[in-house]
Amino acid sequence: MTAAPPAPVRAIPRPPAPSGPLAQLHRDIRRCTACPLAATRRHACPGEGPERAAVMVVGEAPGYDEDRAGRPFVGRAGQLLTELMEGAGLSRSRVYIANTVRCLPPKTGGSAEPPQEAVEACRMFLEREIALVRPAVLVALGRAALRALVSPKLAISDAHGRAYTRDGRWVYPMYHPSYLLRNGNDPALRRAFEDDMAGLGRLLRVHAATLRPRWSLEAIAWLYRSAPTPHTPNAHSRATTWHVLERFALPQVDGATITWDIRGVHEMFRTPSAIQELLRRYVGRPVRLDLTNSSLRRGVRATILAGTT
């Protein structure tokens, strides 16, 4: 029996063209010849989406369809990404989508991972695009984006679905959707993708709810693993408030020292950079996290630094 042919790729609507500095950046990317990929590409692919977006997705590099269209994530992986985002209530039209490298890399030994030389040469475009779009959350799709945005030491299999920070912005790694495609849309892997997408929603809510020092009940509800969500009918009742505050320890400030029992905090926030950012938000000042005698499983201690945010 022959395998059924893959479903045709659905056209992804083109968002409005950018203006001003973002339009200039896109022209610079289309004309760029800074690395050897310029010689073999058909079209360079700048990012696309709203000029200001709360979420910016950063993938690895254009594929065959993207190279022909000059647009990111318009092939099968892009279609799957769009489907997964929309399944989690996040419309593609509200997300800015870009890649670590903007030109199609040649296939080496079956892999199309961009060469390090191209990643380094293209980094300037990614940094300029982040500075212009100013997202609250950068979603790092796959290994190349994770390395470029967080650390070359992290593995995507460990980091996916967890929150990190970079220059005061959240970074949220996820598997690249092409990984799911290569694995035949495996149901267990798809569930992991869907869980990570749900985690992105939680991260956006925690971001919004912790922007001001002294968190609201809503912030606590989203930050802790099993607190009632603010949408439960009695979430704002006095009884629920006491229940949440008794059950989940908030950071304790004593002079310049802040300690926090984080046993109830959702696993996705238990990275040093996420905990440090949350503590900075809680006290409204920069903090230095000291993990020497602490544990990201139990409690942490930090020093509140002088100055304001």
Which chain residues interact with ligand SF4 by CB under 6 A? 29, 32-35, 37-38, 44, 101-103, 118, 121-122
Contact (CB, 8 A) for 69 and 30? no
Judged by beta carbon, residue 33 or residue 257, the one nearer ligand SF4 is 33
CB of 168 to ligand SF4, least distance (A): 26
- Rounded to whole angstroms, the Cα distance separating 106 from 61 reads 11
* 20 touches 49 (CB < 8 A): no
CB nearer ligand SF4, residue 35 or residue 57: 35
Query: Judged by CB, which is closer to ligand SF4: 32, or 287?
Result: 32
Q: 276: left (phi > 0), else alpha (psi -120 to 50), else beta?
A: alpha
State which residue, 38 or 198, has the beta carbon closest to ligand SF4. Answer: 38
| Closest separation in Å from C-beta 159 to ligand SF4 | 24
Q: How far is the CB of 155 from ligand SF4 (least distance, A)?
A: 24
Q: How far is the CB of 22 from ligand SF4 (least distance, A)?
A: 15
| Residue closer to ligand SF4, measured from CB, 60 or 218 | 60
Q: Which is nearer to ligand SF4, 34 or 198 (CB)?
A: 34
Query: Is the CB of residue 200 less than 8 Å from the CB of residue 139?
Result: yes
**In whole angstroms, how close is the CB of 175 to ligand SF4 at the nearest point?**
23
Residue 34 beta carbon to ligand SF4: minimum distance, rounded to whole angstroms: 4
